[in-house]
């Protein structure tokens, strides 16, 4: 059958199982938006306040579901406003398809109104990108883009479409295709059974084994197998920020976060273990700190689906380029269940160090997260902006399931959480979603409160308000002799008036009782909410490892 370009785009989205798209219209995509209007019973469109918010919403949708998130923007500034969101998804391996409009093919390269080379701009931050200049290649491009976004190590793909390709008069033959929207396994060289057995013997014979699990476990849907491995072999387990939820943190074997703001136990284990199983991690600088002294007493086994990550940041003794779930499925039959009482007793002694951090009768960030956990029984989704509050959310909430924390790890995008909370709540309409923000990050995309209000989403934004850029101030205190250059925020913003203007419920909290009441009412009433929770100006994220120091050189005050 003959269809125009816009019809083909919508047909392809439906083929791929897309039921929601985030975006903001403009001239170059009007034909696409007209077709979306005709198919609004099949694809829901969420109009955000800004294209960046739409890209983060698509990201949050993808992280919380494992599906491909889709965002749509017009040409020029509409397309460039997606760049931060695309880069965020790229750094954290999030499957996303970004669709942008552009000027007509005949106008390309002529500095036309709202023309920009978005494929050139995004080449370093996408798995692949396209500009479709021939309508006959449109369907094929969409199908390939979705396959690339979800296969192997997931990531964002961009499709740029000149306006004339979507013109109602521009048609071509279209044949529907039955699409399997499950994650497509990347074809990799088969890892030999002998190598799997060799790793299994390392684990069987290790006296102080330790697991370091990352976002790759979550992307591979391998959390069940990871928990089985750790429990069977009595192996303490830590996670990266991206890996939180991959391992049940209520399990006695959990040591929590690792790295610059990791727990004492996690960081000590890295130093003292004799075998480190690094599963789905890329050994970022925020974990390694001093590369020369990272796990220097251990044999390191790295398993990752991306060959480029092997030995990139740290040399390993054994490396396996494969899907984490496949690795664990093949490994488990070769293991001999055992207990490690001496090693675990030592690990438990480290867990008892610094347990009283932020225990106080005053309102502390630890209480923010523990109270959310109590009020929801841990059954909620946490999104974060970037800064101190992000680490408090990572440290003080017990993540028991994967895909429950949405946070910008690799890029560290302030303003991410507001959009992500929208996408997460749209994906899980029955759930409660909390966006944990700092007053600095909150300013970046507070306009998305309008989106939360417009769609009446039960998203609760908790602002840890210390009237400063908290993480930057913490570094200025520790390393810049308290020269607080441009980190003190003004106090002009009237949060209550803002909440009223945006149409969301508002609570101001100075005490634990204030905060408890606000959280209880928010959970009970399920409405868009802004909580302004006051924090002491010099509240810190601890523990902390100074940049370049050994991972067990831990600052506790």
> Which residues are known catalytic residues?
51, 113-114, 163, 471
Rounded CA-CA distance 91/100 in Å is 20
* Cα atoms in the Cβ-side hemisphere of radius 13 Å centred on 508: 6
Query: Could you tell me how far CA 141 lies from the centroid of its own chain?
Result: 26
**Segment (H or E) for 420:** helix 416-427
CB proximity list for 415: less than 8 A, separation 6 or greater: 52, 56, 84, 385, 441, 444, 445
Rounded CA-CA distance 406/179 in Å is 28
Query: Could you tell me how far CA 393 lies from the centroid of its own chain?
Result: 13
Rounded CA-CA distance 268/273 in Å is 8
Contact 216, 327 (CB under 8 A): no
User: Before 543, cis peptide (omega within 30)?
Assistant: yes
Angstrom CA distances, 3 to 9, 110, 173, stand at: 10, 29, 6
Burial of 292 (0-12, 13-18, 19+ CB in 10 A): exposed
Rounded CA-CA distance 196/203 in Å is 11
For the chain, the 3-state helix, strand and coil shares in percent, each to the nearest 5, are: 40, 20, 40
Rounded CA-CA distance 56/320 in Å is 32
Q: Which of 131, 183, 126 is nearest to 156 (CA)?
A: 126
Query: Could you tell me how far CA 88 lies from the centroid of its own chain?
Result: 8
Contact 57, 22 (CB under 8 A): yes
Rounded CA-CA distance 484/537 in Å is 12
- Write phi, then psi, for 340 (nearest 5 degrees): -130, 60
Question: Which residue do the tokens 């959970």 mark?
Answer: 523
Q: Which of 7, 100, 103, 23 is nearest to 55 (CA)?
A: 23
CB proximity list for 308: less than 8 A, separation 6 or greater: none
DSSP letter for 429, please: T
Cross-strand partners of 172: 3
Neighbours of 526 (CB within 10 A): 15
Q: What is the dihedral of CA 126, 131, 135, 140, to 10 degrees?
A: -30
Rounded CA-CA distance 189/265 in Å is 37
CB proximity list for 81: less than 8 A, separation 6 or greater: 50, 51, 52, 55, 73
């Amino acid at each position: 059958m003959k269809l125009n370009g816009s019809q083909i785009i919508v047909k392809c989205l439906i083929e791929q199982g897309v039921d929601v798209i985030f975006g903001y219209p403009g001239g170059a995509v009007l034909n696409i938006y007209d077709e979306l209007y005709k198919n609004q019973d099949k694809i829901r469109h969420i109009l955000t306040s800004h294209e960046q918010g739409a890209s983060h919403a698509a990201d949050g949708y993808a992280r919380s579901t494992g599906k491909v998130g889709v965002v749509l923007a017009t040409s020029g500034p509409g397309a460039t406003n997606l760049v931060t969101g695309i880069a965020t998804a790229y750094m954290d391996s999030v499957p996303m398809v970004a669709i942008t409009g552009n000027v007509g093919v005949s106008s390309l390269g002529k500095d036309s109104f709202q023309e920009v080379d978005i494929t050139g701009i995004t080449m370093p931050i996408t798995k692949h990108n396209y500009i479709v200049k021939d309508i006959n290649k449109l369907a094929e491009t969409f199908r390939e883009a979705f396959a690339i976004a979800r296969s192997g190590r997931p990531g964002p793909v961009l499709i740029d479409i000149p306006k004339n390709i979507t013109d109602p008069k521009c048609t071509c033959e279209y044949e529907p295709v039955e699409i399997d929207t499950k994650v497509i396994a990347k074809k990799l060289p088969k890892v030999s059974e002998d190598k799997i057995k060799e790793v299994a013997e390392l684990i069987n014979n290790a006296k102080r084994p330790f697991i370091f699990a990352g976002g790759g476990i979550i992307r591979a849907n391998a959390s069940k197998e990871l928990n089985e491995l750790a429990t069977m072999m009595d192996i303490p387990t830590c996670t990266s920020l991206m890996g939180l939820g991959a391992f049940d943190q209520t399990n006695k074997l959990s040591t929590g976060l690792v790295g610059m703001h990791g727990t004492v136990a996690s960081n000590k284990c890295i130093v003292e273990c004799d075998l480190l199983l690094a599963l789905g991690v890329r050994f970022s600088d925020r974990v390694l700190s001093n590369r020369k002294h990272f796990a220097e007493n251990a044999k390191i086994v790295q398993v990752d689906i991306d060959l480029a990550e092997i030995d990139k940041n740290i040399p390993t003794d054994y490396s396996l380029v494969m899907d984490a779930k496949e690795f664990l499925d093949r490994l488990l039959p070769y293991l001999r269940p055992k207990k490690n009482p001496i090693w675990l007793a030592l690990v438990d002694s480290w867990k008892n160090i610094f347990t009283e951090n932020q225990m106080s009768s005053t309102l502390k960030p630890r209480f923010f997260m523990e109270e959310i956990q109590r009020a929801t029984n841990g059954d909620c989704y946490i999104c974060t902006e970037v800064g101190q509050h992000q680490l408090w959310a990572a440290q003080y909430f017990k993540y028991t399931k994967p895909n429950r924390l949405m946070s910008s790890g690799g890029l560290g995008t302030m303003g991410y959480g507001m959009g992500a909370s929208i996408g997460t709540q749209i994906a899980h309409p029955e759930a409660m979603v909390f966006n944990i923000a700092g007053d600095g990050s909150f300013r970046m995309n507070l306009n998305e409160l309008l989106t939360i209000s417009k769609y009446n989403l039960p998203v609760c934004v908790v602002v840890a308000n210390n009237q400063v850029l908290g993480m930057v101030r913490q570094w200025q205190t520790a390393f810049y002799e308290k020269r607080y250059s441009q980190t003190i925020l003004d106090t002009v913003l009237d949060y209550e008036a803002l909440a009223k203007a945006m149409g969301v419920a508002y609570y101001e909290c100075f005490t634990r009782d204030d905060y408890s009441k606000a959280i209880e009412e928010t959970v009970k009433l399920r409405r868009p909410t802004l909580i302004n929770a006051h924090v002491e100006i010099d509240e810190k994220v601890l523990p902390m490892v100074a940049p370049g120091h050994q991972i067990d050189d831990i600052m506790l005050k």
